[in-house]
Amino acid sequence: MIRGPLVESAFGSDPRFRWRSHEVNRVEAFSDAVFAFALTLLVVALEVPRTYEQLLDAVRGFPAFAACFALLYLLWYQHYTFFRRHGIVDRFVLVWNAVLVFLVLFFVYPLKFLFSLLFGAWMLQLGWIDAETSPQFAARVQEAFDGWDPRQLMLIYSSGYLAVSIVFLLLYRHAWKLRERLELDALERHITVDALLAHGIDACIGILSLAIAWFGSADNAAFAGLIYALLGPAHGLRGYLRGRRQPVRA
């Protein structure tokens, strides 16, 4: 159980937002099992390396694994925070949580493929790995590029990103609709709206990327990936503007 000890130690608690769930429910326990299984699928190799070349292969796959792990951890932490803050377990949450864990399992392999492809190509182009001394690694990267369609790959990635963003958007919208029952104070309502805006920004960026990949050509597929660089400035601006309007709890 991932969350049990974390809940007991008040991991991720925010003095601005009261926790309404202090125990791990069965929905969270099931979700944790799915996240743990997804991380297992991301591992470079399930077996202990038997040769030095296999060990080097595992090390070369570390950057891609680290990127995928960071994204999944961020997703898990958002899930953890939502349940701690709002503690809602009703039919609506059950349905959309099921959609979320389905998306996590479905898109874990495309996510791993995308980052393995990108990091593999970068390491070869930047000279971090020599194709002559590591012919097997270079051959695998080349094999991944053979017949690939960057436009289709970005369609898959952006569809998953957009779908996950919409699920969190719907969950926080549901929490906002129940604000009276949850007895959210002014500051907690402000933070909930801020979360709605944050996931709305994510969804908009996902739509832009999806549109570029859908209507653009294969040569322009890189722009569908570069559009995600807007996430930093967009969330920075949101944090600045929303922070200035944050109410003070009496």
> For residue range 182-213, what is the model confidence (pLDDT) as tens digits?
999 999 999 999 999 999 999 999 999 999 98
- The set of residues, in sequence order, having a beta carbon less than 8 Å from that of 131 and lying 6+ positions away, is 124, 137, 138
**pLDDT of residue 21 exceeding 70:** yes
**214 touches 150 (CB < 8 A):** no
Query: C-alpha angle 211/217/223, rounded to 5°?
Result: 60
The rounded Cα 61 to chain-centroid distance in angstroms is: 19
Tell me the pLDDT band of 242, cut-offs 50, 70 and 90: confident
pLDDT value at 9 more than 80: no
List, for residues 30-62, the tens digit of each pLDDT value. 999 999 888 888 875 556 667 776 677 777 778
Tell me, what's the pLDDT at 150? 79
More confident site: 24 or 140? 24
Q: What is the mean pLDDT of the chain?
A: 83
- Please give the angle made by the CA atoms of 107, 81 and 41, to the nearest 5 degrees: 25
- 136: tokens are 């097997």
Return d(Cα 123, Cα 121) in angstroms, integer.
Answer: 6
> Range with the lowest mean pLDDT among 7-21, 105-119, 144-158, 160-174?
7-21
Mean pLDDT of the 87-113 span: 92
The CB density around residue 91, as the number of other CB atoms within 10 Å, is: 7
Tokens of 181: 């029952």
User: What's the pTM?
Assistant: 0.85
